[in-house]
């Protein structure tokens, strides 16, 4: 029986790995695509972000190295929810920290390169010049949708009609909308409260939702962007949260 359970566990793990591989391959988060390396490139797709051993300490088994950066955070007379000014977006806030390691335009390298000797491979290192050619938000997030704030739908002077956050499985809460599920996160470990709106509330780092219009040109997505948590046709994702607007 123990042997059977071991085999089943192995098969399930292989199946999960295969699914994750499938939803990275061919997307802008596939290092072979980003680097325009062409077919047959010997590239470990998962290693672009993850390592099975001795990671940087950031969830989940994070494989990229960059010191914490200080960001200019969003502010507006019509924005009423709590957000920390000059947020470092530190490692505890992984749902945004991990995104910004690549999307702040600052060079980053791998902690562990593929292979038993962790031999350096520049295909996995992202220079500032390369990162400026992709989605580069920089260190000022004042002209982007706010992230890193405490989602409180009762604070709504502008009558957006924000949806209440409902329980989402066993891991926390989410904003449920007609076209997607938008999870909230925590900055206090895995114990909650799950009330932080982050990059990963609207985006999934793995390409998990199918919708029309996604295509690639020279390693960059064009048309409808990848990694949305829902179909944004006719601004559907926006309306899921800003119900009255």
Q: Given this model, what pLDDT does residue 190 score?
A: 67
Best CA proximity match to 47, nearest among 69, 68, 29? 29
- DSSP single-letter state for residue 237: H
From CA 189, how far away is CA 65, in angstroms rounded?
Answer: 20
Which tokens hold the place of 132?
């400026």
From CA 222, how far away is CA 231, in angstroms rounded?
Answer: 15
| Predicted confidence pLDDT, tens digits, the chain (245 residues) | 444 334 333 333 333 343 444 588 888 888 888 887 876 677 888 998 999 998 988 777 999 888 888 888 888 888 989 886 655 666 567 778 888 888 888 888 899 999 888 888 888 888 777 776 677 888 998 899 999 899 999 999 999 999 999 998 777 899 998 888 999 988 766 677 888 899 999 999 898 888 888 887 776 777 788 899 998 888 999 999 999 98
Q: Given this model, what pLDDT does residue 6 score?
A: 42
As beta bridge partners, residue 166 has: 174
Number of neighbouring beta carbons within 10 Å of residue 148:
24
Q: Given this model, what pLDDT does residue 92 score?
A: 60
Q: Given this model, what pLDDT does residue 201 score?
A: 93
3-state SS, residue 231: coil
Where are any strands of DSSP class E within the chain?
64-65, 109-110, 149-150, 165-168, 172-177, 180-183, 196-197, 214-217, 220-223
Answer yes or no: pTM beyond 0.75.
yes
């Amino acid at each position: 029986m123990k042997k059977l359970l071991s085999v089943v566990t192995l098969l399930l793990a292989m199946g999960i790995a295969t699914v994750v591989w499938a939803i990275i391959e061919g997307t802008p988060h596939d290092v072979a695509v980003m680097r325009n390396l062409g077919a047959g490139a010997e590239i470990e797709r998962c290693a672009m972000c993850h390592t099975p051993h001795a990671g940087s300490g950031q969830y989940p088994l994070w494989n990229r190295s960059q010191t914490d950066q200080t960001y200019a955070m969003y502010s507006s007379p019509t924005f009423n929810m709590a957000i920390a000014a000059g947020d470092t977006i530190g490692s505890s806030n992984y749902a945004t920290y991990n995104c910004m390691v690549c999307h702040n335009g600052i060079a980053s390298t791998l902690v562990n390169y593929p292979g038993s000797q962790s031999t350096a491979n520049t295909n996995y290192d992202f220079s500032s010049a390369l990162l400026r050619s992709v989605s580069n938000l920089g260190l000022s997030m004042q002209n982007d949708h706010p992230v890193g704030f405490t989602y409180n739908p009762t604070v709504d002077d502008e009558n957006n009609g924000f949806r209440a956050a409902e329980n989402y499985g066993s891991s926390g809460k989410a904003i449920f909308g007609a076209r997607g599920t938008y999870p909230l996160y925590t900055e206090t470990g895995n114990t909650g409260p799950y009330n932080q709106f982050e990059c990963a509330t609207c985006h999934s780092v793995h390409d998990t939702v199918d919708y029309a219009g996604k295509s690639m040109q020279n390693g960059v997505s064009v048309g409808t962007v990848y990694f949305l948590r829902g179909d944004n046709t006719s601004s559907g994702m926006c309306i899921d949260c800003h119900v009255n607007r």
